[in-house]
Amino acid sequence: METYSQQQATGLFRETWLRVLPRLDAASLWLAPSTGVPHLRVPCPHSCGWAEKYAQRTRVELAGRGFARVSAVCLHHGPYAATITPTGGGYLDLATLYRNMVKELAALAEADVLQVMVKGTDWMPGSLLVDGALQAVGLTRGQLPARLFCPMIVAETGAKLSKSLIRSGEAALPAGAEPWMLDTRKWPGTVGEFADRLLNLAGLLLSHPRHFFRSYSAAELSRLMSLPAGSPTT
């Protein structure tokens, strides 16, 4: 397991970003369809740690072989610049589509490894754009990574059950959803029982493509998780 914060600090990720930078123009409309400017942010080096939300004043230039200069403006501290090298130069905050393109290019650099991107179904429209970006910077369709889209858990409205929005208080727990769906520590039974039910659920979802390539309402997830392990399912 590796978080984005850890990954962006690696030499492989930074080298990949520096390598794709000269070709970024070709992919810009795939990565930012509404503006044509894929966002990149580097936080202000002063204690505020702020970065421009929409990167309006952020400029990137390939300064030489193996490093790039990013300049931006902090509302408190004024203009600042960061030099990004394969081994350092500050946090590299790329917008979602942009970071996924770099992430996938970095993964594909590992020869003789079958890379599989595993995402929720809500990412399906986004992955079409990443595929377009990867081809725009020079990959062929055969070089694109394999993709696996996992079932999405939805509220009764059909929207994704957004754990982050509910946790932050911006959305209410929808009908049928249980507190343990947001925080597994709130499972009413034992940890062993939770693990058994989860394993059972995974077995069911993987038992047939028609069970895997679909969405589940929070209420249905709750029902499936209430079935004792090994019980027949329909």
Contact region with Zn ion (CB under 5 A), list: 25-33, 76-84, 134-142, 193-201: 76-84
Contact region with Zn ion (CB under 5 A), list: 41-49, 115-123, 178-186, 190-198: 41-49
Smallest gap from Cβ 163 to Zn ion, in A, equals 31
**Total binding residues toward Zn ion, as defined by CB under 5 A:** 6
Dihedral angle sign, alpha carbons of residues 133, 138, 142, 144 = negative
Beta strands in 85-200 (DSSP E): 93-94, 116-120, 146-150, 153-154
Contact region with Zn ion (CB under 5 A), list: 38-46, 105-113, 128-136, 197-205: 38-46
Contact region with Zn ion (CB under 5 A), list: 46-54, 58-66, 126-134, 217-225: 46-54
24-31 and 124-136 helices, crossing angle to 10°: 160
Rg (CA), the chain: 21
Smallest gap from Cβ 57 to Zn ion, in A, equals 13
Q: Residue 88 carries which DSSP code?
A: B
Q: Does 154 bind Zn ion (CB under 5 A)?
A: no
Q: Which of residues 192-231 bind Zn ion (CB under 5 A)?
A: none
Contact region with Zn ion (CB under 5 A), list: 39-47, 52-60, 183-191, 226-234: 39-47
| Phi then psi dihedrals of residue 26, to 5 deg | -65, -25
**Residue of the chain from 23, 59, 77, 214 that contacts Zn ion (CB under 5 A):** 77
Please, are residues 7 and 60 in contact by the beta-carbon 8 Å criterion? no
d(CA 80, CA 61): 14
- Kindly give, in sequence order, each residue whose CB lies less than 8 Å from that of residue 62, ignoring residues fewer than 6 positions away: 18, 21, 22, 68
**Residue of the chain from 5, 48, 128, 183 that contacts Zn ion (CB under 5 A):** 48
Smallest gap from Cβ 47 to Zn ion, in A, equals 8
Q: Does 76 bind Zn ion (CB under 5 A)?
A: yes
Q: Does 74 bind Zn ion (CB under 5 A)?
A: yes
Beta bridge partners of 146: 116
Instruction: Closer to Zn ion by CB, 23 or 77: give it.
Output: 77
d(CA 15, CA 225): 44
Write out the residues near Zn ion by the rule CB under 5 A. 44, 46, 48, 74, 76-77
